[in-house]
Amino acid sequence: MTLSEKKLIKVGIGFATGRKSFQKILRTFIHTWEESGLVDDKEISLNLFVAYDLTYNKTNVRDYTNIRPDLAEQLDSAQFIGAKDITEETERLVHNNVLNDEEARRIFGKGYAGQRNAISYFAIKQGMDYLIFLDDDEYPVAVTKTRKTAIWGGQSVLTEHLKHIAQADITNGYHCGYISPIPYIKFNETLPEEHFRFFIEAISNDVINWDSIKATMERGGVTYADTDILTSEIAVEVPETNHAKFITGANLCINLTNPSRVFPFYNPPGARGEDTFLSTLLTDRKVLRIPCYAFHDGFSTYKNILEGVLPIQLKFISADDEHVVNRFYKACIGWIRYKPLLLFITQRDEYDQKIMEMREQLIKTLPEICAYFDEPKFMNILKELDKYDKNAKKHYHEFAETQKNWAKIMEHFS
């Protein structure tokens, strides 16, 4: 490449994945980058970073690395990050006295936070200016219900982020489709609406609003895109709510031009919430919500969208489906595992009182939840609350140490 051909903006595109469907979603996104002119733009370099987990869905390396040649040539580079790659890199950091073994494991440990940190690490190491995280179950389309049938439109996700990220630390888009794991509930004497509201408020974070959840449930679990946002070109700053500027982990772009301003991801062992915990660190960061959507296929119902099949009607997510109930259960476990640490970070003075209120609400509502879904394992939620409550201080220490350890790496790079 001659000096005149040198590309000016290096963009990293990160996937933390464990699904065989990854190749299909990558193909779709590459086609959108080609169609929007990004592939042919001589000033933009597109670089793929894929952190894959072979244990999540019993996949093999080729499920991620075997990209079709005609698609691969649309990218300037591609890096695939497996367990072996992370081990080799952590050993290098330890050998160079940047981190010790424990610190390296804390940064690049198991789970989504470790995968995201690995992607961020390699992107910074390779001199990326910006890094966008995309999910393997989200598609670059938006769906509205302004008529009797669903109306679909394509979304230039990466293009929209690149319009705004130079003026921000983080840009975050919107999500439509099946965002909520909460199925449609037909309230009755077994489970009154008020009691279900108590349950959801007990296990969820500050972003959850019962009125919006109820409205989504009444639409069968579907969140439709807002046409005012779709037709807007304005990015708005994300407000701070209870010591956090809440973001999502995908349709998310991070400005890497000053690595000292980049924070790591963290989640308690066995929990999610890595995007929520990052949100609590963004007080003095500029975070913009940008007008673009991604369709979240949370129940893997609409994979044919990637083949060009756009449904006229979106299905209700019903509570009588075993797969749906199991996903809801797993979401509840994930929420309850990270809520104690979130409360400890954002409302420490009220922590004991808040935990006591949660426990009382769960003791009251969980028997009804179990009866309604005919699933006694929902009682495990109370056990998980007790476990993660006892470990909240320990997890906070890990959270703080992760930031310190990450700062050492950033200093090493500088």
The pLDDT-based confidence of 3 (bands split at 50, 70, 90) is: very low
Res 320: pLDDT: 84
- C-beta separation of 138 from 251 below 8 A: yes
Class of domain 3-413: alpha beta
- SS3 annotation, 278-324: HHCCCCCCCEEEEEEEEEECCCCCCHHHHHCCCCCCCCCCECCCHHH
Q: Is the pLDDT of residue 180 over 70?
A: yes
Q: Rounded to whole angstroms, how far apart are CA atoms 391 and 151?
A: 47
Q: Residue 2 pLDDT > 60, yes or no?
A: no
**Structural element, H or E, at residue 172:** strand 170-177
The mean pLDDT value for 150-168 works out to 96
pLDDT of res. 172: 98
- Going from N- to C-terminal start, the domains of the chain cover 3-413
What SS3 state is found at 1?
coil
- Is 251 a residue whose pLDDT tops 70? yes
Counts of helices then strands in the chain (DSSP H, E): 15, 11
In the predicted structure, residue 7 carries a pLDDT above the cut 70: no
Residue 71's alpha-carbon distances to 23, 47, 65, 77, 251, in angstroms, are: 10, 12, 12, 11, 21
DSSP 8-state code for residue 220: T
Q: Which uninterrupted H or E stretch holds 398?
A: helix 392-413
The H or E element spanning position 141 is strand 141-144
